Amino acid sequence: MNSVINPLPARRRHDLDWLRIIAFAILIFYHVGMFFTTWGWHVKSPDANAGPELVMSLVNPWRLALLFFISGVALRFLSDKLGAGGFARERVARMLPVIAFGMLVMVTPQTYFELRQDGAIGPGPLAFYGDYLRPSVLHGVVTPTWNHLWYVVYLLVYSLLLAPVIPVLRRLADGPAGAAVGRIWSGPAGAVMLLVLPAAPFIVYGAVLDPHFPTTHALWGDWANHAHRFTTLLFGYFAAKSPAFWAGVRRAWPLAAAYAAGFTLLAATLAALGWPDLGEAASAAFSMITVLYAWSVIVTLLGLGQRFLDRDGPARRYLTEAIFPFYILHQTITVAAGYYIAQAGWSVWTQFGVLVAITVGGCFAGFELVRRVAPLRPLFGLKPRRVRSDSTSSSDVPSGLPASSGPAASRE
């Protein structure tokens, strides 16, 4: 019986590239949807209603979890290539300019238009910018802020925390402990174990941490959120080169898909009944099966990705480079456009169509500009042109973006 793992060879995982692209696309449309829901967000449509909220609630438990998992896979490949020190230096050089530029420039319009719609400030972005740059609480909003770029901040912090223990993590992943876990995934009940065991920590976090530490994305004090995100990142790291895990996903995804479909039917039924009060015990049980649902969706997507998406092409290459700048750009475009659309007097479907067109078109236009202007590239997470390569590199497995576990989303 093997006591060590023969890790999978380093190769570009096109399926994870595609899943990262799809997940970011969902995120962009999700934030467009936030303009129309009754949940709190930066700017709101005058026709905001609960219509989109069921679909968005079904996406909430896994939309960011998938990306943190993929980030963990990326962390394994990149740290194996660069070593612990090189990995830490690369993460700082790649992410710190994005965070600084994002907080000082990209996110600023979001706060401006939010306060303008609230009637808290008058017109005049230049005067507002001076106030924004002074660390303070400006009409209830902490400034400067990172808003949706919290993911980049958290990923950088997690990477730096893990860098000193990368050799230990590698030995755990490839040694007897990793082999023992692999035997569980390969066993006769492996498919069920693959769906249940990884969900267990999140059930504990939901019961012990979530009630006491609401999600804030403020870094300090966001302890429940850290538990969810950091654990998912580690899952991705340990799964990255495990043959038993990926073989287990291929066996387990049909069962995972069936469970996810059953949960979706249950949630739709409860929504049709007006989300009746289930009582304390039933609500706790529903929270547990929601965690299982989130992980089941991720397993389903990983399995479908292996089967159908592990293929290359011009679209994959273009979008793999474009998707991180899209992420940086999209929410500012959506908020700015939403502010003016809210005043246009259009029907809700016209608002939706125009907002989607402006957001998607603005992302493509912004990326086409950024990729051509050398000084802008590092500010949007792009490498210098001379470093481009399609062999195994720091972007070989996408450095992706666990989600809000409750029905209402955070503001991001």
Q: Where are the domains of the chain?
A: 64-261
User: Token pair for residue 89?
Assistant: 């230096």
**Within 13 Å, how many C-alpha atoms sit on residue 397's CB side?**
24
Q: How open is the CA angle 299-304-308, to the nearest 5 degrees?
A: 155
How far from chain centre, in Å, is Cα 279? 31
The ranges of the chain with pLDDT < 50 are: 387-410
User: Token pair for residue 353?
Assistant: 């169509």
3-class secondary structure, 268? helix
pLDDT at residue 275, rounded to an integer: 87
pLDDT at residue 263, rounded to an integer: 97
pLDDT at residue 12, rounded to an integer: 80
DSSP 99-117: HHHIIIIISHHHHHHHHHH
Contact 178, 5 (CB under 8 A): yes
Cα distance between residue 5 and residue 251, in whole Å:
20
Q: Which amino acid is at 2?
A: N
Task: With CA atoms as reference, report the closest residue to 44 among 109, 111, 114, 138.
Answer: 114
Contact 339, 116 (CB under 8 A): yes
pLDDT tens digits along 227-273 = 999 999 999 999 999 999 999 999 999 999 999 999 999 999 999 98
List the end-to-end C-alpha distance of the chain, in Å, as a whole number.
Answer: 48
User: Please, which residues bridge with residue 130 across strands?
Assistant: none
pLDDT at residue 174, rounded to an integer: 95
pLDDT tens digits along 320-336 = 999 999 999 999 999 99
